[in-house]
Structure 1
Amino acid sequence: MTGQDDGPDPAHRRPEGVSDETVEALGSLSKALETTERARGHLYSFHQLTGTADLELDRAVELLREAGHPDWAETVRTQVLGRNVIPGHWTFQIVEAYDATYYQPFRETERAAVEELAEGRDHLHEAEMKEARRTAGHPDHTARPGTGPSPGAESAR
């Protein structure tokens, strides 16, 4: 394969008239959104871990009672169990506010920019970086799935 057949699939080829600067800017915008996706995942981890800890407090309260420490059981029950993590908020409310206030508008803005500036084609920066770093003819440097030798072809010879 050579030429256009050996490059990225059409969905990852730069549309006519899109500048290097635009591709770089959209790549940076995409990278920022990917970082936000990771931050959102950590926020969900925070939500789930905090909820798991709060549910374990039920067991701690019961065990403190059974161990003869009813005052400590009551202190844990009233001072920690079910407590807001920030004033007025449980973690689910923080997740909801983050999604509505930051995450969704960010996703929508990134998508709109890619649609308008690059005909909806994602990862142009990465696709071009891949092309620049490929070794022509190397079986592990193919442009896309299904364009190189079949797995195990070398060992069959």
Structure 2
Amino acid sequence: MGLRIGMGVDFHQLVEGRDLWLGGVKIPHVKGALGHSDADVLLHAICDALLGAACLGDIGVHFPDTDNSFKNIDSKILLAKSAALIHAEGYSIVNIDTALCLQAPKIKPYIPHMQQTIAGILGLTVKDVSIKATTTERMGFVGREEGLMAYATVLLQSV
């Protein structure tokens, strides 16, 4: 069995007047992430991890912010398209491990819904989708609530 590991990371500014989408779930907050799409850092990091594990480049290669067809796109669509690309290369997903880094809001209550959303898109069980969250103890751009970031690691196997 051929195994491949991929990692992804994404960052977005936080601004007023935008919705905050994390893991495909709309999170109530006074700020949202700024981006060409819905700026869901968690799903973008997972997309990059999937594409990287299959040596298919990154999210910007497949869904560039210079293409207006992706303007304000729901990142759940980008995740489904990324999964289709790795499946076309002969890979399936074993598991996903992620970490969100943001000062506020607290997202622990939303993690099960995020896991269900991601698992549903990718045809996995919630036990295959780990989501953790941390703060930066008020240090840096994350601690000042100027932005947020996410990391993702995936394990693929050839089918």
| Alignment TM class, shorter chain as reference | under 0.3
**Which structure's residues are more often strand, by fraction?**
2
Greater percentage in helix: 1
TM-score by length of 1: 0.23
Greater RCO, 1 or 2 (C-alpha within 8 Å, sep 6+): 1
